[in-house]
Amino acid sequence: MNEIQTNNFDYSVLDSSTAEYLKDRENSMSKTLENAAEKLGEDLTKAKEKLSKKGYGCFEDWYTSLGLKTTSVYRYINRYEFVSSKLEDSKMLETFQELTPSLQNEMSKPSANPEVNQKVFDGDIKTHKEYRELEKQLKQQEEALKQRDSVIQSTQRENEILQSKVDEAENKEPEIKTVYKEKVPKYIEQQMSDKERELLDSKRSIAQLESELRKAKENQEKMQRVEEVDEETQIGSRRFQAESNVLFLKENINDFLEENSVNAFREGAIATSSQRTKDNLLQGVEELEAFCRAMRTALNNRITVN
């Protein structure tokens, strides 16, 4: 059943008498719909009860065949049951009938909070939005109280368990253990003393041997370091000798070049010499070139002195 809404209609376009007349019709139609809604709720409730008593499970099939939706059917039923069972006071019924349909539907739900409904009748809540906000706040408070109670109960159980353990420990009699010590004969004690002395002497001998072994190891490390120093000295000596030989060779080359440098006079002498002399000189030049090539090869090679 559709609700009558006139919020968007502008009555100012009408003259005053016509506007009052339409407002009266509006109120009359609203009451008609309210009465019809309550009557529908009554009829649906009685039909449901009748089918249930007879054991028929076809209530939904019946009202859907009439074109009614489940949400609408149970909204009418909830409204009828709320009005008939909880609004015996005429003033409360009048207040309820003046509310918006959405607020009436909220108050008629079986899950509605009686405290919130009472706020409506007291005039503290006037809109559907205010109703939902207060309902939400109360649910949050209820959840917070449940959590607090759960924590309190859990803490109490833990305290009871701890107290039970303390009481059990206090009431428990101390356990007495008897230790039997066997008496050892004197000759056994003497033998044990001898063995202890032998063990002590053995420990001292082992400690002395370990000390000697450490000293021998230290001496061996010293000898190894001396050998390493000697080896480095020998390597240095060989390197010095090699350097000396190279420097001596360089001096010989300088002397040779200084003594045999080619000047204009020698160029003329070579040019006028015989072929045999030139051949001999050419052989010497080739030997000198071979010497230079050997020197270059030696200079390009890297030999580690050890």
Average pLDDT, 10 consecutive residues per value, the chain (306 residues): 57 87 80 79 92 90 92 91 81 84 88 90 89 89 86 84 78 65 62 70 78 81 70 69 72 71 65 82 84 83 60
For the chain, domain boundaries? 11-110, 113-168, 262-306
Q: How crowded is the C-beta side of 11, counted as CA atoms within 13 Å? A: 12
pLDDT at 63: 92
Task: Kindly state the DSSP code that residue 105 receives in the 8-state scheme.
Answer: H
Distance CA 281, CA 283 (A): 5
Does an H or E element contain 117, and which?
Answer: helix 114-121
DSSP 143-159: HHHHHHHHHHHHHHHHH
Q: How far is CA 296 from CA 40, 107, 250, 289, in A?
A: 124, 114, 13, 11
Please report, for residues 35, 132, 250, 264, 283, the alpha-carbon distance to residue 254 in angstroms, rounded to integers and kept in the order given.
Answer: 139, 116, 6, 20, 21
CA distance 31 to 101: 12
CA gap 129, 12 in Å, rounded = 29
Question: What pLDDT does 246 receive?
Answer: 73
d(CA 74, CA 68): 10
DSSP string across 6-58: -TT--GGGS-HHHHHHHHHHHHHHHHHHHHHHHHHHHHHHHHHHHHHHTT---
- For Cα atoms 269, 272, 276, give the angle at the middle one, nearest 5 degrees: 100
pLDDT of residue 6: 47
State the residue for tokens 């230290």.
218
- Is residue 80 within 8 A of residue 38, CB to CB? The reply is yes
Alpha carbon 151 to chain centroid, angstroms: 28
